[in-house]
Chains A and B, each alone.
Chain A
């Protein structure tokens, strides 16, 4: 497991991966178990909720199908969990290592900064992928347990979009950390932008002033409309991929040129 930076990073973060993966798997499975109850009662109750609040809670009919339920209770909720995990993980891998001095030790070896940057980045993508994979499996198993099977391809695409939007904010933290060496600032900026992006996209349907800003919000391209219920908008996926690639390039260009903080 210590053959290269990528594998060593996976080994180093194995418990984070296991705890988050198992935790979210269990949470999704438990959530799925409530589908029959939601279908019978909560769907009807939501029909009485004012229009303005439905943007946050979803429409009542969504709770009548397993796709709608999983969309609102799993995909839309788990994204906060995966982003929190992703930002914590990503800001720790270059900026965190730099502040505790292990990055300096690593870079004193014959390894290129680009290699360090990309192998750690690959580990972030893999760890978030594993956690998202646990959510995917839990969704499919949970749906089977309540005898309402989900379409595998759509579920896979929905979770792929979850992975991509998680990567956006994680790589934002990672790139800022790699560019500045400051973990706290990078994490705070990534977390704050995730919150702002979510708020903009949530309120944009009912606040016309936010419609333009919504085009700049990564959440606008995540599960909007629902992948599970309506299918994938390929254009949305492309936008998220472009944002991720841009962030990676931004961080790389600065990281390979800048001074590394001395302890």
Chain B
């Protein structure tokens, strides 16, 4: 099956400055793809090329199997897009803005827009210039979602949203996926995409550092483990166990770092008498730092 998004060696140069360099990635239908990197890494440049706002210097971008350079109008009709710093017309109310976009798309489902507004607690009767950053972002989110697109392209979508609305946003994204939709989401706040992404790519200085399933990335990375046990031999066993490092014992609590598949360690631990165990989940922040300092 053709990927929904396919970037092949996409380079964008601004004179001598590199926007992106040989960026290649594929996003499969029905997945949520996290595109991660710090500010200025090339995330927005990549998304702008996907939306045909800027043109790649070299390389090709295909959405739904179609070249965005020649079929941009068609591909954009199947996309819901939210920019990082959403700008809408200051003099229009949220409702007017959404009605306008609906008219440009040729359909405007008022009931669905109301439903989305209720879920995101978004007031649509106020002029855009009077809205807070978070509320502006909500209007932008509704604009991206209201035509039930096949692909959502979201550039830093949750900036300005409070935690409750972020949680509702995550639900909406997961529902979109459950209905067969695809999501491409960029962020520099790693924890917020960790909850929903299937696959992540890290970009640094315009280059993709890695692009892998999230599970694959996190499963092999070091986790902090704390074990409470009176068994004196466990400490020695852990020191010699493959993948275990930084073993310390304070009182009856052994702390160590483990990199590897969890089942291997659990098999070893099952032979000892353990009164308590805690495993700190690996967060993307750690992964990110690992890759960035590699």
Q: Which residues of A contact B (CB under 8 A)?
A: 2-5, 8, 12, 100-102, 104-112, 259-260, 262-263
Contact = CB atoms under 8 A, between A and B. Distances in A.
A101 B87 contact: yes
Interface residues on B, range: 20 to 34
A102 B87 contact: yes
Contacts of B79: 108
A109 B81 CA distance: 8
B24 interface: no
Contacts of B256: none
Interface string B78-96: 0101010111110110001
Interface of B: 44-45, 48, 51-55, 73-74, 76-77, 79, 81, 83, 85-89, 91-92, 96, 99-101, 103-105, 140, 143
A22 B26 CA distance: 57
A110 B74 contact: yes
Nearest to B54: A259
B86 A105 contact: yes
Contacts of B91: 12
Contacts of B77: 110
Contacts of B74: 110
B11 to A, nearest CB: 14
25 contacts: A2-B99, A2-B100, A12-B92, A101-B86, A102-B89, A104-B48, A104-B83, A104-B87, A105-B83, A105-B86, A105-B140, A105-B143, A107-B52, A108-B76, A109-B76, A109-B104, A110-B73, A110-B76, A110-B77, A110-B105, A111-B104, A259-B55, A262-B44, A263-B83, A263-B87
Contacts of A111: 73, 104
B53 A260 contact: yes
A4 B140 CA distance: 19
A257 B221 CA distance: 45
Contacts of B51: 107-108
A106 B87 CA distance: 10
Q: Which 9 A-B pairs have the closest CB atoms?
A: A101-B87, A110-B77, A259-B54, A2-B100, A108-B81, A260-B53, A110-B76, A102-B87, A109-B104
A214 to B, nearest CB: 40
